[in-house]
C-alpha cells in the first residue's frame, strides 16, 4: 500500500471517530474540526483551498472571497478517496434551514462535493465558528420549485447557471443532527 493510500485510509477512519466524538460532545466541535482540518485532503479547485484556509483561520471573518454571501464550509467524505473534502459554498437560509446549491457555475456535470454527499449524506458544516454534524438531503421537485424563486431573487447568477446547463441544478438541505 502506497503512502497516499495509507494516509487516505487513516483519514477515513479518523472521520468516523471524529463524527462519533462530535455527536457525544458537541461543545468540543471546533476542537474536533481543527483536528480533522489538519488531515483533510486538498480541494480540487485551487482558489477554494486558500478560501477555506482563510475562512477556518478567522472563523469566517476573512475568507478572501469577493463574491456573494453568506458562505459555509461543507465537509464531505470523498467517494473515491474516503478522505475528508472541504468546500466553501454559498448558502441560503430559508424557513430556519440551510440550503446549498449544486450549480458548479452551470457546468454540465455536478460538482464533486454533490456526488460525494449522494454517496454518503452524513456531512459536517461550519458557519463562522459554529460547527455541526448534518445530514444532506436533496430536496424534491416541489420544495425546489418553492425555494428556487427566492434563491434567484437573492442571487440572480443561479438563473444564468440553470440556463447554461440541461441538468437540473440541485438544492440540498443541510439538516443538523
Tell me if 22 sits within 8 A of 34, measured CB to CB: no
Residue 138, domain extent: 3-176
Which H or E run includes 72? strand 71-77
Tally of residues, the chain: 177
Say what the pLDDT of residue 31 is. 61
Say what the pLDDT of residue 112 is. 92
Counting the structural domains of the chain, the total is 1
Q: Residue 36 maps to which CATH number?
A: 2.30.110.10
Q: Considering Cα of 177, then 28, then 49, then 6, what sign does the dihedral take?
A: negative
Say what the pLDDT of residue 125 is. 92
Percentages (nearest 5) of helix, strand, coil residues in the chain = 45, 25, 30
Compute mean pLDDT per 10 residues along the chain, 177 residues long, and list them: 44 52 61 61 61 75 67 89 86 95 95 95 90 94 97 96 97 96
Amino acid at each position: 500500500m502506497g503512502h497516499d493510500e495509507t494516509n487516505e485510509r487513516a483519514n477515513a477512519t479518523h472521520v468516523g471517530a471524529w463524527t462519533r466524538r462530535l455527536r457525544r460532545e458537541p461543545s468540543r466541535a471546533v476542537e474536533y474540526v481543527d483536528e480533522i482540518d489538519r488531515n483533510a485532503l486538498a480541494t480540487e479547485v485551487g482558489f477554494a483551498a486558500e478560501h477555506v484556509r482563510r475562512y477556518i483561520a478567522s472563523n469566517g471573518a476573512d475568507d478572501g472571497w469577493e463574491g456573494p454571501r453568506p458562505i459555509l464550509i461543507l465537509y464531505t467524505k470523498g467517494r473515491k478517496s474516503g478522505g475528508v473534502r472541504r468546500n466553501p459554498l454559498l448558502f441560503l437560509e430559508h424557513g430556519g434551514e440551510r440550503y446549498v446549491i449544486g450549480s458548479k457555475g452551470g457546468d454540465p456535470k455536478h460538482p464533486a462535493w454533490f456526488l460525494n454527499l449522494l454517496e454518503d449524506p452524513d456531512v459536517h458544516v461550519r458557519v463562522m465558528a459554529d460547527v455541526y454534524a448534518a445530514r444532506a438531503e436533496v430536496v424534491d421537485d416541489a420544495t425546489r420549485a418553492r425555494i428556487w424563486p427566492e434563491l434567484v431573487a437573492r442571487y440572480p447568477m443561479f438563473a444564468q447557471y440553470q440556463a447554461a446547463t440541461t441538468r437540473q441544478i440541485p438544492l440540498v438541505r443541510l439538516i443538523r443532527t
